[in-house]
Amino acid sequence: MRIEAVKQTIQTLPITPRVLANFRETARLFSTHYSTMIEGNRLTQEQVAQVIDRNRQFPGRERDQAEVKGYYAALDEVEHLTKRRESISEATVQRLHALVMGGSKTRLKATRYRDGQNLIRDASSDAIVYIPPEAKDVQRLMAQLIDWINREDDLPVPIRAGVAHYQYATIHPYNDGNGRTARLLTTLILHLGGYDLKGLYALEEYYAHDLRAYYDALTIGPSHNYYLGRADADITKWVAYFIEGMATSFEKVRDQALREAERAARINRNCCETWTRSSVELSQPALG
């Protein structure tokens, strides 16, 4: 209900095209910064903006620069796919992943799923925290996920997006870039389902501000092995976390947009008052 309320508010707010464009670009830069930061990118928010806007180079940060450019290009692709209103396919996911991994949009090749086993380890202790399904099962699981995403039923779009995020991370179809691609897929599902909010929000910021909560919500099931409980786990905890993140992110956009609308209205009132006073002074008869 909080999400739906914000949707209605944003649709009726008098936001000028210039302000809307500035807000949208800020949201995209935030998404790029926070989503890559989650994976260990060391560029600051300001540096990300400089890399994207001015192609600035930071010696020793070449990989970080490539990551933010790739993610920003993938966000471009999400916007393009949203406008075309096409159903999501495995090729869609593979294209987003290719962009995330630094592929060129002019000569982009879809990336193949992994052909070996991968492991998810704790960055600080190097302990195994998750063992994804075997490579031989990835193609089948991804096909099932895509079919489920495109199923026409009464499941609310935000819940569908949250479940898709979880299941993509669970399958972990690539050796690298899975987290970023999962977040992009989530954004695409929301945008195609009418929850783009004019492109003004960045869910990645919500995740990044409390990474432990993000990973804890994703860590579900009696075992860290896919075949020993993860596949059939109750994911209510994750869905609740995801929906709260959407509501919080949407409300942040609403508050920012309301402040901007109030500021614009105040400027207009001041301009009108100044114009009125000037008109009155000019209309007064000259004395003497």
| pLDDT, tens digit, 9 for 90 and up, residues 102-119 | 866 656 788 899 999 999
Lowest mean pLDDT among 6-20, 22-36, 66-80, 126-140: 6-20
Indicate the DSSP class of residue 129: E
60 — pLDDT class (breaks 50, 70, 90):
very high
Percent with pLDDT over 90 in the chain: 71
CA angle 64, 242, 15 (to 5 degrees): 80
For 134, the 3-state DSSP assignment is coil
C-beta of residue 243 within 8 angstroms of C-beta of residue 162: yes
Six token digits for residue 60: 């020793």
Q: What is the pTM of this model?
A: 0.89
Report, in angstroms and rounded to the nearest whole number, the Rg of the chain calculated over CA atoms: 23
Lowest mean pLDDT among 77-81, 250-254, 265-269: 265-269
Q: What is the pLDDT of residue 46?
A: 96
Answer whether residue 136 shows pLDDT above 90. Answer: yes
C-beta of residue 243 within 8 angstroms of C-beta of residue 158: yes
Answer whether residue 86 shows pLDDT above 90. Answer: no
* HEC string for 6-45: HHHHHHHCCCCHHHHHHHHHHHHHHHHHHHHHHCCCCCCH
Q: Is 273 exposed, middle or buried (0-12, 13-18, 19+ CB in 10 A)?
A: exposed
**Comparing 12 with 113, which gets the higher pLDDT?**
113
Sequence-distant (≥ 6) Cβ neighbours of residue 63 within 8 angstroms: none
How many Cβ atoms are within 10 Å of 40's Cβ, its own excluded?
10
Q: In terms of CATH, what superfamily is 2-279?
A: Fido-like domain (1.10.3290.10)
277 — pLDDT class (breaks 50, 70, 90):
low
Q: At what angle do helices 178-192 and 157-171 cross, to 10 degrees?
A: 160
* Residue-range domain boundaries for the chain: 2-279
For 138, the 3-state DSSP assignment is helix
